[in-house]
Amino acid sequence: MRILTVSHFFAPHGGGIELVAGHLNRELVAQGHDTQWAAAREGALPDLGATRPVGLTCVNWLERLTGLPMPIPTPAAIRRLWRAVAASDAVIVHDALYVSSIVALIAARRLRKPVLLIQHIADIPFSNRLLRSLMAFANTCVTRPMLRGADHVVFISATVRDLFADVRFRSAPQLLFNGVDTNLFHPVALKRDETILFVGRFVEKKGLSVIAALARMRPDLRFLLVGRGPIDPTKWQLSNVSVLPQQTPATLANLYRQARLLLLPSIGEGFPLVVQEAMACGLRILCGTDTASADPEARSWLAHVMIDLADPQQTATRVAATIDTLPCVPPPRAMADHAASHYSWPVMVSAIVSALSR
């Protein structure tokens, strides 16, 4: 089957959605499909292996101003995306709110191509009131109509699925968790240090303000932040905060195995891939309550607190109190076993292809 994937960026941008799109494309190729991937072009097109990139020229001023990755395709890019949809047998769209997602779904409907929408996130309770209002408006006027318009819908989080439970879908939506490469991400008996690890984009919604407040509040704790983005944690000038750029999966796996804790005080998430990878490596996790509810069967293994980015100081106080109560021993092996048995790229892709083939 000729399958076109549409996401806002390619994997090198570093966000969770585009990383998931990359994993799915590799597995689609492994299962014998002919794949193209359309996304915003940032400089030279990335090497996607057997998947052919369809680079879309976009303007991205919104991310520079707010941290929101919201590229807007040019008219020529929209025409190119339409042609890519026309040349495909089926279309997979990642998340509803992006302009390229909207164009791809409209094109697929007009051209009678089956389209499957993977909805990663739901509401994002920004600290800025205007952004909160815009997000609520967008979910009402864009996300819900997109969910109604897609032939098939996949949610990667029970939290996100439940928020949109009242939508009238064309077919029953599926809950399919992102996969984890257990050849890389699995427990290894290494001596853990006292590092509190963060992995993700350096943007507001990931809770960087909470981590900064916590690091100032608790100089006895040592933090390692891995990622990139418009926020620069080195400017905090805190001696207990170290920063690394994006790392290879193999290096990340070792970081998960050596750290004391993965801290992800984020909002508006689906089920972040870093949480699933950390689970597979046997690392204790502290995240927001909504994130911890993404997989109901895993919730008991995840420490969680309510995250309020409008009050990072108070949220940091809650996080610090929770850290102080966490056991010194690693989580039960059952957590890593659950990740290995429930989070599978081949299973996810097989279910997606089955839906598109109906």
pLDDT bin (cut points 50, 70, 90) of residue 330 is confident
CB 188 within 8 A of CB 258: no
pTM: 0.90
List the domains of the chain with CATH numbers.
Answer: 2-178+344-356 (3.40.50.2000), 195-341 (3.40.50.2000)
> Residue 357 pLDDT more than 80?
yes
Mean pLDDT within 255-277? 94
The segment with the largest mean pLDDT, out of 29-33, 68-72, 202-206, is 29-33
Q: What is the mean pLDDT of residues 297-310?
A: 94
Given a cut of 80, is residue 178 above it in pLDDT? Answer: yes
Exposure pattern of 307-319 as b/e (b: 16+ CB <10 Å)?
A: bbbeebeebbbbb
**Residue with structure tokens 């598109």?**
356
Work out the average pLDDT over 206-211: 96
Q: What is the pLDDT of residue 64?
A: 67
pLDDT score recorded for residue 63: 67
Grade residue 122 by pLDDT with cuts at 50, 70 and 90. Answer: confident
Show the DSSP H helices in 152-282 as ranges. Answer: 158-163, 208-217, 249-258, 273-280
Give me the pLDDT at residue 130, please. Answer: 74
Q: Which residue has the higher pLDDT, 358 or 162?
A: 162
- Burial class, 300, CB count within 10 angstroms (exposed 0-12 / middle 13-18 / buried 19+): exposed
pLDDT at residue 299, as a whole number: 94
